[in-house]
Every structure is written in C-alpha cells, then in structure tokens.
Amino acid sequence: MNEIKVSDLARQLKMKIGELVPILKDLGIPNVVNGTSMIDKESAMAVKDMILSERAAKKAKKVEAAKPLKTIEVPKNLSVRDFAAKIGVDPSDVQRKLVEMGILATVNQQIGADVAGKLAENWGYAVKIQTSSAATPPVKQPAKPGLAPKQKGAGKLLPRPPVITVMGHVDHGKTTLLDAIRRTNVTEHEFGGITQHIGAYQVSWNGNLITFLDTPGHAAFTSMRKRGASVTDIAVLVVAADDAVMPQTIEAINHARAANVPIIVAINKIDKPEANVERTMQQLMEQDLMPEEWGGDTIVVKTAAKKGQGIDELLEMILLLAEMGEYKAEVSANKVRAAVIEAKVDSGRGPVATVLIQKGTLRIGAPVIAGETHGKIKAMFNDKGERIMKAGPSTPVEILGLSGAPNAGDILESAKNEKEARAIAEKRAEEARREKVAEKSKITLEDLYNRIKEEGVKKLNVVLKADVQGSEEAVRQTLLKIENDEVRVDIVHSGVGAVNESDILLASASDAIVLGFNVKVDVRAQDMADADHVEIRTYNVIYELTKDVRAAMSGMLAPVYEEVHLGQAEVRATFKVPNVGIIAGCYVTEGKVVRNEQVRILRDDKEIFKGVLTTLKHLKDEKKEMVQGFECGIQVDGFQDFKEGDIIDAFTEKAIARAI
C-alpha cells in the first residue's frame, strides 16, 4: 500500500505518462519502466512537490515578464555614453552588450532607437523615443522584449539590406577590399569557382545581409545617379594610409555628398611600413571628415585589405550605420522596381542585365520593362551564378529575357503582361527620341538668367578646376562672394588639374557648369561634355571669370537669337505608314534640310505650322541632312496634314552673345 502506480501519479500531475517516465528515470527512482510500474509513495510525493514548485516558478516568471518594463525616453539617435548615463551604468558595460549583439562601437558612437530598445532590455527597461513636437505620433513600446517597435500602417515595409558602393583614389585598394569582403562569405574553394562577377554581390555578416556594388569608382556611381537611379545607401571611401587624401579621394567625397550618401572611411594599407594613419586622418579632417576617435562623427576603420585585416570591423560599422538608416522596402509590392547595374548583349545568351531589386519581388516569367527595352524574365541567376526563381529587395540578380541591353541606371519595372511591356517600352523609345530633339540643354552661363526667371533657379552649381591650389582657393573664395538677391554660387567640387571626365559626370549629374582656371580640358572630357551638353568655360584671368559669372547672374549674358535660313524642300507625295504615321515624300529644291532642326510649313506662301523635323530618310536610311537635288522622306513633330505642293522651309537659330 506504500506504493503508487506511475500512471496514477501522472494523472494527479495532469501529465502524460510518456513525459513523466523519463523524469522519474532521470531522478533514479527504481523499477520505473512504464505507466504500470509501481513506485514508493514517498518518492512520488517528492517528485510531485518538485514538479509543482517548478511550475509555480515558471508561472511567476511569466507574470513578471508580462509586467510592463520601466520606460526611459531616448532621442532618435544617441551616443553610447549618453545611453549608459540614462540607464545609470558604465559605458563599457553598454559596449560589452553591443558586442554581444554583434556591434562594435566607440563610446561616442551614435546608436539608433532600435538598438537602444534592444540594449535597454538587458537592464529591464523599455525605450520611448522622444518626439520633438506634439504633432509627431507617439512610438509604441516594443510589444515583446527583443522586438522593435511596430509602426502602424507600415505592415508591408520590411527592413532590407543596405547597398554599399566602394569609392576612392586609384590604387588605394578598392578592388582588393571588395574581394576581401567577398572572401569573408564564401569558402576559398567557392571563391575560386566564382569567375563571373555580375556587378554586385551580397555577403551575410552576423546574420545580416549587405549588398555591395562590385563596380568601384565614383564615375560609375554618378553615371547611375545621372540616369535617375539612386541605389547606394552608404559609400565606403577607401584611402591608402601610405598615400593619404588624393585628388580622386576628394572627387569621391564630393560625389557622395552631392548624392547625399553617408560616408564610412576605410584607411587601407595600414600594413605598409610607410603607412601614416595620423597624417591620413589629418587630411580627412581637412575635407570635413572628422574621425570619431578625434571627436567627430565620421566612422573610420583601419584596414589592410590585402591581408583581410579590419574587414570584420568594417562590416560591423556598415551594419551599424545601416541600422540607423533603417532602410526598408516593400517585399510584396504589386509593382516590382529594380535598378539596372550593368547590361550587355552576350553572344550566346542574348541581352543580359544585372539589376538590383529596390521594391517588390521579381519572379521568373514576369513581364518587365527596363528603360527602352522589354521582355519576360526567362532566367535569373544570383551573384554566385546559381539559378534562382525569385529575388527580393536589395538583391542583385542577373536576368535573361530582355529585348535589348538597357543602360546602367535605367529602371526595370514589372508590367501587367508582355503586350503592355512592349507598348510601354516602345512609347518610351519614342519619347526619348522626341526629348532628344527638344532636349533642354544643361545649364549654361548664357541661359542662367532665363532659368532664374522662368524656373526659379536659386543657385549656380559650379565644378571648378585650377592649375594650382593657390589659385583654386583664390577663385573659389571670389566665386563664393558673388551673389545677388536671386541666386548664389554653389561649388559642387573644386580641384587641381585638367578638366576630366569625372568633372563632367559630376557637373552633368548636378546640373553644374565647369569653370577652368589656367587648365586644359581632356579630349575625352570635352567629347563627353559635348554629348551631355555640359558647359565648360576656361579662363586665364580671375577677373574675366568672375566678370562672366556676375554678368550671367544679372542677365547680361543672356543671348539674343538670330534665325539662319538652311534651305527648302517641296512635298511631292504623301505616304501612310502603319504605326509611324504620314510621311511626306519631298524633293530638296534649295540648300539643305537637317534633322532635329526647325522647319516652317508653307502652303500658298502662308505659314501653316512651325516645328521640328524629326525624321529624315533617304530610301530606307535615316539621314542627318539632305541637300539640294535629292529626294527624301520627312516627318515633322506634331504635324501630319501634308499636301502635295507644301513647302518645307528649314532654318536654325544661332545664339549671338551680347557684348558686355
């Protein structure tokens, strides 16, 4: 009678026999085999006590956890030191906890509210973000410890990996750094196997993904921005410690700043005997990049990319900055949006484009438009060359199936179906052609005044190049002093040396003019400026330079236009071409007619239309101009109503600079 059946004890404890038996066995109670085994009552009582008290403790803990946490108010961003003071602990304790969270931070480093929230739980606090005005809706407390506050209505927005571009002077180690980062994530064997770079890749660090654009250089960065794609969240500026700040370092800084992208500095090659970190930091400071360890707010990481040194810390810092940036995207957006990173036509595979998803999830089979191309996603590959079926925000993928190679910086979007995709792409191509015709050139000194008056332009962006630093500074200072009530000068970039392609790119992306003082213009830069309609003016006398800028601001440089007659053509027949419209079959009776120039259409000696000649064909070929005695097909933008005998009178307008 001093014994009890195991199954009876289980019933009393409201437990399954299968759960109780192992516990009894673990406790070393003799003769326990299954539910029918008998154990002595004393042992049974002890086990019962133990299990019941364990349950009570668990329940108490739950009640405790359910109690609201003590709350502290924190600003959106605060330093590790300030956070420690709020909690009343030593900053080093906070740093230690941050390390456990995979974040390496100095005491002056800023942490975002999300991180502060997670940290605070360690000391039994919840955080409330201070709001500066009553109009800002209050931020909810974390529902559960460990979870970031959920924002109402933002259900679809999910965090996405940050996208990084590596910039810096040539030979400072950008490529080596990108390779070193990639190596952190794949085995040496895999690394060797990845022969094809697709223009971007992703690494996973402490469970967080980071996307790197694998095309180092600010030129690539800015040419994408010029086309309207801003894909970069953070710029990593590589500065070699043995060379310090060089001209392209400054260019890169200005490119990043013009795009409003935060900069993390990697002082590289610290393994070299001639490395001088102090001097490099000093020079960075002169560029307004004050390192944190000197009390500033620029994150500086010391690396030796060649040896893989400092890479971990760099990744930590990127994630830290990304956390503050709180980059988010809709994963399940109806419309997918991606930026084209690079594209080419492969002889075997056809058009191949690498795109970086910015919104939504791109799937195999999706009908898409990319710039002026269209198609259906036939196949997708990730950065390791593996075939994938879908890709979400911040993921770089190589896609097959487009009708042609889009331009880097073009936007890829999903369409309802292939028909719609084709129609949109064709419309865009047509619009692009028209835009080209009516292309509004970039700002020039001559049209500055009109732009001030008509478009409310408030500043004249300038890229300045000079022969030596002394004159650069002198011109800079003089320019900055020029202003009137309506407009002021803003120097986007200034540097020493010839005007180069990077200057033109920056000027083009920032709608700036390029002013050169005692410098030449590279041939390639001149070609690019001509193609991009960027104005370059060079001077040998500072006074002349400033005089022109001043005159431009007050409208004294605005040009006067004079009409120059080009020639005439007579309409001899009209043709209707499906999908194209009416084409006038003409004979050039005098002078010449020129594509993209202006024309007047005369009927019975009266002007019935004035516009731009957009199509000029001879037989099947598109021509730039046709001269007297030739037949040609003509289309004029916005006019279809040609009649036999109409005269097409071609002319151009020439700007005549005013004498100042």
Residues that bind ligand GDP (CB under 6 A): 168, 170-176, 216, 268-269, 271-272, 304-306
Count of beta carbons in the 10 Å neighbourhood of residue 585: 17
Q: Which is nearer to ligand GDP, 172 or 595 (CB)?
A: 172
Q: Give min distance, CB of 166 to ligand GDP, in A.
A: 8
Q: Give min distance, CB of 239 to ligand GDP, in A.
A: 10
Q: Give min distance, CB of 444 to ligand GDP, in A.
A: 34
Q: Rounded to 5 degrees, what are φ and ψ at 416?
A: -65, -45
Q: Give min distance, CB of 242 to ligand GDP, in A.
A: 8
Rounded-to-integer distance, Cα 178 and Cα 1, Å: 77
Q: Give min distance, CB of 341 to ligand GDP, in A.
A: 18
CB neighbours of 521 closer than 8 A, spacing ≥ 6?
A: 498, 499, 529, 536, 538
Q: Give min distance, CB of 382 to ligand GDP, in A.
A: 24
CB neighbours of 131 closer than 8 A, spacing ≥ 6?
A: 137, 138, 139
Q: Give min distance, CB of 447 to ligand GDP, in A.
A: 39
Look up tokens 């009582």; give the residue.
Answer: 45
CB-based contact 271:309 (threshold 8 Å) = yes
CA angle 607, 613, 615 (to 5 degrees): 140
Residue type, 574: T
> Which DSSP category does 657 fall into?
P
Angle between helices 80-87 and 113-121 (to 10 degrees): 40
Q: Give min distance, CB of 229 to ligand GDP, in A.
A: 23
DSSP string, 404-423: S---TTPEEEE-SSHHHHHH
Q: Which is nearer to ligand GDP, 247 or 404 (CB)?
A: 247
Q: Which is nearer to ligand GDP, 168 or 495 (CB)?
A: 168
Could you write out the three-class secondary structure of 254-288?
Answer: HHHHHCCCCEEEEEECCCCCCCCHHHHHHHHHHCC
Please give the helix or strand (H or E) that residue 593 lies within, else none: strand 581-594
CB neighbours of 151 closer than 8 A, spacing ≥ 6?
A: 139, 140, 157
Q: Which is nearer to ligand GDP, 244 or 507 (CB)?
A: 244
Q: Give min distance, CB of 228 to ligand GDP, in A.
A: 27
Look up tokens 């995979």; give the residue.
Answer: 102
CB-based contact 125:69 (threshold 8 Å) = yes
The closest alpha carbon to 384, from 176, 186, 163, belongs to 186
Which residues is 571 bridged to in the sheet?
Answer: 586
Q: What is the dihedral of CA 625, 626, 628, 631, to 10 degrees?
A: -160
Q: Which is nearer to ligand GDP, 175 or 526 (CB)?
A: 175
**Distances, alpha carbon 106 to alpha carbons 92, 298, 320, 424, in Å:** 9, 12, 11, 51
- CA-CA-CA-CA torsion sign (419, 420, 421, 427): positive
Q: Give min distance, CB of 112 to ligand GDP, in A.
A: 31
Q: Which is nearer to ligand GDP, 268 or 373 (CB)?
A: 268
Rounded-to-integer distance, Cα 352 and Cα 311, Å: 31
Rounded-to-integer distance, Cα 111 and Cα 134, Å: 24
The closest alpha carbon to 272, from 249, 306, 245, belongs to 306
Look up tokens 């996405």; give the residue.
Answer: 160
Q: Which is nearer to ligand GDP, 169 or 493 (CB)?
A: 169
Quick one: how far is CA 486 from the chain centroid?
32
Q: Which is nearer to ligand GDP, 168 or 360 (CB)?
A: 168
Report the helix count and the strand count for the chain, using DSSP H and E: 18, 35
Q: Give min distance, CB of 310 to ligand GDP, in A.
A: 9
Q: Give min distance, CB of 554 to ligand GDP, in A.
A: 45
Q: Which is nearer to ligand GDP, 163 or 304 (CB)?
A: 304
Q: Give min distance, CB of 252 to ligand GDP, in A.
A: 11
Q: Which is nearer to ligand GDP, 235 or 489 (CB)?
A: 235
The bridge status of strand 396-402 relative to strand 77-79 is: unpaired
Residue type, 624: K
Look up tokens 């259900």; give the residue.
Answer: 155
The pair of three-digit structure tokens given for residue 160, joined into one six-digit string = 């996405």
Q: Give min distance, CB of 311 to ligand GDP, in A.
A: 10
Q: Which is nearer to ligand GDP, 216 or 393 (CB)?
A: 216
Q: Which is nearer to ligand GDP, 111 or 238 (CB)?
A: 238
Quick one: how far is CA 445 from the chain centroid?
30
Q: Which is nearer to ligand GDP, 268 or 546 (CB)?
A: 268
Q: Which is nearer to ligand GDP, 170 or 432 (CB)?
A: 170
> Which DSSP category does 221 fall into?
H
Rounded-to-integer distance, Cα 323 and Cα 325, Å: 5
CB neighbours of 491 closer than 8 A, spacing ≥ 6?
A: 462, 463, 464, 476, 479, 480
Please give the helix or strand (H or E) that residue 113 lies within, else none: helix 113-121
Q: Which is nearer to ligand GDP, 216 or 406 (CB)?
A: 216
Q: Which is nearer to ligand GDP, 304 or 463 (CB)?
A: 304
Q: Give min distance, CB of 184 to ligand GDP, in A.
A: 15
Q: Give min distance, CB of 406 to ligand GDP, in A.
A: 26
